[in-house]
Amino acid sequence: MKCYICGIDAIKKYDWHSLCEKHYRFIQMRKTAKADKKYSPSIYELEKLVPSNMKCADCGKTMHWIDNNNRSDGAVLQHYRDGTLGIVCMACNTKHGMMPGDSYRDTPKDHKLCRTCKTIKPLSDFHTRKDGKKPYPMSKCKKCNLAVHQKWRLANPEKYRESTKRHNDMKQQNIEKYRALDRESYWRRKEQKDAP
């Protein structure tokens, strides 16, 4: 089956048999814009917004139309607050929603907005989460994260004592493992401290 707009091979997605990935995504963009009560451009207007090399205009990442395994690089219609439109990656679209105006465009590459204190800080001020396929910085900076944990500890002293006791018992059962981790952590911190 061919796409009825451009003639490229169509995909079978949720009962849509006659659209390619790009035009299926365009239909989604238009529906989302309409649902958000924003201007919904025509398919031909969207066609003009597509970058020729499929690179995000804001961060330079290569985008795709449909890939459920990598949502952050998916192409999204962006309504800038100055009234213009663009097609950017999902990651930039998310940053745009969190920051005032179009200021996310001016954020340096190795910096990020802390969602708690609303300040832009270097990535070194964020802990790294490693539970996915690739590590990524957490949404709260180290300082805000510490404040949240301290507040929880004060509000839940019994739970904190139980948690600490469980951790200490686990350390006693695996002494050599935890000693090796402590040594590794010590040398890592020492290297960071000695680095210029």
pLDDT in tens, 16-60: 667 788 888 888 889 999 999 999 998 889 888 888 888 988 888
Residue 13 reports pLDDT greater than 90: no
The fold adopted by the segment(s) 109-155 is: Wheat Germ Agglutinin (Isolectin 2); domain 1 (3.30.60)
Helix (H) or strand (E) segment spanning residue 87: strand 85-89
Mean pLDDT of the chain: 85
pTM of the model: 0.62
- Average pLDDT of the residues in 82-86: 87
Kindly report the backbone phi and psi dihedral angles of residue 123, in degrees, each rounded to the nearest multiple of 5, phi listed first: -60, -25
Q: Indicate the domain borders of the chain.
A: 109-155, 156-194
In sequence order, the 6+-apart residues with CB closer than 8 A to the CB of 119 are 113, 141
Cβ–Cβ under 8 Å, residues 25 and 66 = yes
Whole-angstrom Cα distance, residue 29 to residue 141? Answer: 32
- Which range among 64-68, 70-74, 165-169 has the greatest average pLDDT? 165-169
pLDDT of residue 95: 80
**Which pLDDT band, with edges at 50, 70 and 90, does 159 fall under?**
very high
In Å, what is the CA distance from 58 to each residue of 62, 88, 164?
11, 7, 45
pLDDT of residue 156: 95
